[in-house]
A and B are shown apart, each in its own frame.
Chain A
Amino acid sequence: MDNNETLLSVKDLSTYFFTEKNVIKAVQNVSFSMEKGRTFALVGESGCGKSVTALSIMRLVSEPQGKIVSGEIIFQGNNLLTLSEKRMRKVRGNEIAMIFQEPMTSLNPVYTVGNQIAEAITLHQKKGISEAWADAVEMLKKVGISDPQQRAREYPHQMSGGMQQRVMIAMAISCQPGLLIADEPTTALDVTLQAQILDLLDELQKQTGMSILLITHDLGIVAQRAEDVAVMYASRIVEVADTQRLFKEPLHPYTQGLLKSLLRLGFEGKRLHTISGNVPDPLHFPTGCKFHPRCQTGCNDKKCQSAEPKLREVQPGRSVACWYAKGYPQ
């Protein structure tokens, strides 16, 4: 496999939600690209637009309130935003699959799990129900569920949270997707299960060569599991880099603040570093750079307060959106 082959590229994506009185700009001018076989993390705090970005890629933004107002999403050469709904349905779940944060609410309680996995298979592949069922059992085995024959006949409520998430993963990979979007796949799980599920995703990635778009708020997970990372703040990407360089030398003041305020086990001090203030309300975003009211770099000036910096490349493979970041073109 060619390592530098681009699988997905998102260009200038903006997704807005229209309410009676207001427009909520959930995602603004987001651009990034993912290579085949790698894990790309989208990291940010709640409400920063990371999930809406994922839903936009799947074209699952709820209309009519939500609308993708601009941009392109190129997946394997096709712009997903111009595909017909019929064609898109063939992509969804087949070429791009998604797992969600809460396995308990994403599975249908009135069907057995085997049924639900087999449904995805019969929808996307030319297989009969018995063949699909056999595949479903095989998938359950693959995600580490013991006694898969028996378990396939059970309902979601008969399983624990970790098992349900495994079922979700089994369903997602049942059609060998090229891209798996994992939206906070372990946030609802206990730490010991979290490691199990992430290990499983790693292993499946090795076996199938799929790419993973990992959406998370946990920088520790990013450090351990992703090769590339984009940091989002208030509906924009503020920094993109490969993981090692991002943690070694964060360029955006927000990334720097996040890394400093992260609680580490070896921390010895009395007080934690904090980013002052709160995440801005999407209805009242500050003018200029959205981070400027919380920015502690000291160079926060008129320019930051009036004009929003675009995401620009500052080193090969590294982009940042800050007027005063090292190497930012003036």
Chain B
Amino acid sequence: MANKNGHLLRVEDLKTYFPVKKGLLQRTVGYVKAVDGVSFEIRKGQTLGLVGESGCGKTTVARSIIRLIPATSGEILFEQTDVLAVDKAELQKLRRQISLIFQDPYGSLNPRLTVGNAIGEPLKTHKGITGSKLTDRTAMLLSRVGLSPEYMNRYPHEFSGGQRQRIGVARALALEPKLVICDEPVSALDVSIQSQILNLLKDLQEEFGLTYLFIAHDLAVVKFICDIVAVMYMGKIVERASAEELYRNPLHPYTRALFSAIPQIEHSQRSHRTTLAGEVPSALNPPAGCPFHSRCPVAGDNCLKQMPALKEKNGKKEHLVACWKC
């Protein structure tokens, strides 16, 4: 059941600010605009990738969607439900349908819970399944992510990173969610394990018709797994297009720099690389105008004054970019 446009999730002008407090009285002296006017929608069965460097707000977007962090303003529509307006009981229901896979497979599993308990816990809390039914269901989930059901009584420390991430995936799938938010699910894994997990995520999507919000900093990973990619910089989406289009025809100078920063085996000559100067500015004190102008190779007068809106360029409906110069 999606809303009338076929979107499973629609995020409209989402803003999440964190107050900065100072002094004896802890007065609020300013705000860190972690997410500053982000909009996107995901169709059922699609994967949307959110890419950007650390601190750009991609994780905050994810956490705002399941209300782990209160959003400041905006609208989040999951199916027909206004996520930011629901009460506690409704929220519980909602969280059965949206689950999370975390980055660090070492930090995200409780070391005192056996793997079976970790996967079974959401089933107990949300669905009241117990006893042999619970065991069966857990065993099924384990085998679905490529682990032997015999592992059920083991503890997380007995597993390698890749196996732990499989456990994390099984736990996220336990309640048959509609939307799975994957927050950097492979960045902590070794190369040979990364591809295993990415294949697994793709297979599961096909099998269960899952919709993914996929957060990553690696454009190669995102290009492989996503249908649509949104590039974030300092709390704003600066470019959005289908993965294929973005890869073939990146418009925003930041997207271009991100692409060329990936060390690739093929271009060992290092010829046409654009290395960005400087670093991401402090979010406490962002530059005026387009926040990227301080590092942008083509910035002009306009860029210092006003933030460009996210707009269609070149008449392509599905390719949006926020840049005065593109």
Contacts and interface: CB of A to CB of B under 8 A. Distances in A.
Interface string B256-298: 0111111111111010010111011000000000000000000
Given A190-B280, A263-B224, A270-B202, A278 B191 contact: no
Contact of A220 (B162, B196, B263, B276): B263
B242 interface: no
Contact of A190 (B53, B194, B221, B277): B53
A263 B220 contact: yes
Interface string A252-279: 0000011101111111001111111011
Contacts of A192: 53, 257-258, 261, 275-276
A160 interface: yes
A195 B275 CA distance: 6
Nearest to B282: A160
A204 interface: no
Contacts of B40: none
Contacts of A279: 160, 190, 192-193
A98 B111 CA distance: 34
Contacts, number: 120
Contacts of A275: 192
Nearest to B276: A192
Contacts of B54: 190
Contacts of A190: 53-54, 217, 280
A218 B189 CA distance: 12
B192 A258 contact: yes
A265 B219 contact: yes
Interface string B44-56: 0000000001100
Contacts of A102: none
B276 to A, nearest CB: 5
A32 interface: no
B191 A195 contact: no
A263 B221 contact: yes
Interface residues of A, number: 45
A247 interface: yes
A219 B198 contact: no
A196 B275 contact: yes
Contact of A191 (B190, B192, B258, B265): B258
Given A265-B220, A278-B163, A220 B264 contact: yes
A264 B198 contact: no
B190 A46 contact: yes
Contact of B195 (A195, A243, A247, A272): A272
Given A196-B276, A247-B265, A264-B266, A191 B217 contact: yes
B191 A258 contact: yes
Interface string B150-186: 0000000000111100000000000000000000000
Contacts of B263: 194-195, 198, 218, 220-221, 223-225
The 10 closest A-B pairs by CB, nearest first: A220-B263, A272-B195, A45-B190, A190-B53, A223-B265, A275-B192, A191-B261, A261-B195, A192-B276, A263-B220
Given A45-B193, A220-B263, A223-B264, 12 more contacts: A191-B217, A191-B258, A192-B258, A223-B265, A223-B268, A257-B192, A262-B265, A264-B264, A265-B220, A267-B224, A271-B199, A279-B160
18 contacts: A45-B193, A160-B280, A162-B279, A163-B279, A190-B217, A191-B53, A196-B276, A224-B270, A259-B265, A261-B194, A261-B195, A263-B198, A263-B224, A264-B264, A266-B266, A274-B199, A279-B160, A281-B160
Interface of A: 45-46, 160, 162-163, 190-196, 198-199, 217-221, 223-225, 243-244, 247, 257-259, 261-267, 270-276, 278-279, 281
